[in-house]
């Protein structure tokens, strides 16, 4: 991605397509040109047919798709390639929220660093979580992320407000997720009527106020679960969910796992367990 050339020691003509156990296709700036290489696409399809497992990192999913290996499967890729993948390969079930996805023997991951999370998942799949944990420690990976973790943090998944009134409302939510953020509260902070706030908020950010508040609170819960030992019930009250059950439902809706499972993965007791398949 930084323009540094990496020279391969062999070409596809030197490789036995029938002897591949795990086929991993990396993405990059040359992936679109690679999709036009019929010999390369054919080799990938042939190698994948006999492989035990097939994986793609980042935009490498486009090459797998061109080879017909992703039809009917749930896949992910870098968010910057999502629209292209959907448009050019409509038979795919594209989900660009998770950092990686497993669908049967096919694994796909988001941007470049998500490939490290995918690699750890492959290690765990073959050798168990203890070895995957040791590999993560050796790589000094601060977080060993579950595949269901979103590619996006709050500043990334949300569009930026275009107007000062909506910016004021958004800033108040991000500054204190656990405060009261009803429509009336947000309208008062923005200087708009409730109806006008609802309409402009949704138009500028792509989600209604209540959904935005919930997402910000879930992101705050993610950080708290990864970094501390606060009980879920206490965390729920502090972040404005009211009850632990409300937090659990919202967390599972956005993250795909229970808060307790999420915390376990980030506290060194398990690696990548229960990834959505």
**Distance (Å) of CA 251 to CA 33, 141, 255:** 40, 24, 6
* C-alpha dihedral sign at 266, 270, 276, 277: positive
The count of residues in the chain is: 277
Q: What are phi and psi of 52, to 5 degrees?
A: -70, -30
Q: CA angle at residue 156 from 224 to 99, to 5 degrees?
A: 75
CB 225 within 8 A of CB 259: yes
CA dihedral 148, 149, 151, 157 (to 10 degrees): 110
Active-site residue (options: 23, 55, 58, 216): 58
Q: What are phi and psi of 93, to 5 degrees?
A: -95, 90
CB 184 within 8 A of CB 172: no
**Distance (Å) of CA 264 to CA 211, 222, 267, 272:** 27, 12, 5, 10
58 is catalytic: yes
CB 225 within 8 A of CB 248: no
Output the DSSP codes for 14-59: GS-GGG-SEEEEE-STTHHHHHT-HHHHHHHHHHHHH-SEEEEETT
Which of the residues are catalytic? 58
């Amino acid at each position: 991605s930084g323009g540094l050339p990496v020279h391969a020691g062999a070409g596809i003509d030197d490789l036995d397509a029938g002897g591949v156990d795990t086929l991993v296709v990396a993405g990059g700036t040359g992936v679109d040109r690679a999709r036009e290489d019929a010999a390369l696409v054919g080799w990938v399809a042939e190698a994948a047919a006999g492989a035990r497992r097939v994986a793609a990192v980042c935009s490498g999913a486009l090459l797998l798709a061109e080879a017909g290996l992703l039809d009917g499967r749930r896949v992910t890729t870098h968010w910057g390639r999502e629209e292209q993948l959907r448009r050019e390969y409509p038979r795919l079930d594209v989900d660009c929220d998770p950092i990686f996805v497993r669908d049967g023997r096919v694994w796909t991951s988001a941007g470049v660093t998500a490939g490290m999370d995918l690699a750890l998942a492959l290690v765990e799949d073959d050798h168990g979580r203890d070895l995957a944990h040791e590999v993560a420690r050796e790589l000094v990976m601060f977080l060993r992320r579950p595949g269901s973790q979103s590619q996006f943090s709050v500043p990334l998944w949300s569009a930026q407000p275009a107007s000062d009134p909506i910016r004021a409302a958004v800033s108040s939510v991000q500054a204190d997720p656990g405060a009261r953020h009803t429509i009336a509260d947000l309208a008062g902070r923005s200087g708009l009527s409730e109806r006008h706030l609802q309409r402009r908020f949704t138009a500028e950010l792509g989600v209604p106020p209540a959904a935005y508040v919930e997402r910000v609170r879930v992101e705050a819960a993610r950080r708290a679960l990864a970094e501390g030992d606060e009980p879920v019930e206490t965390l729920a009250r502090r972040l404005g969910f009211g009850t632990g059950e409300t937090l659990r439902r919202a967390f599972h809706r956005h993250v795909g796992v229970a808060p307790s499972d999420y915390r376990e993965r980030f506290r060194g007791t398990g690696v990548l367990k229960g990834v959505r398949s």
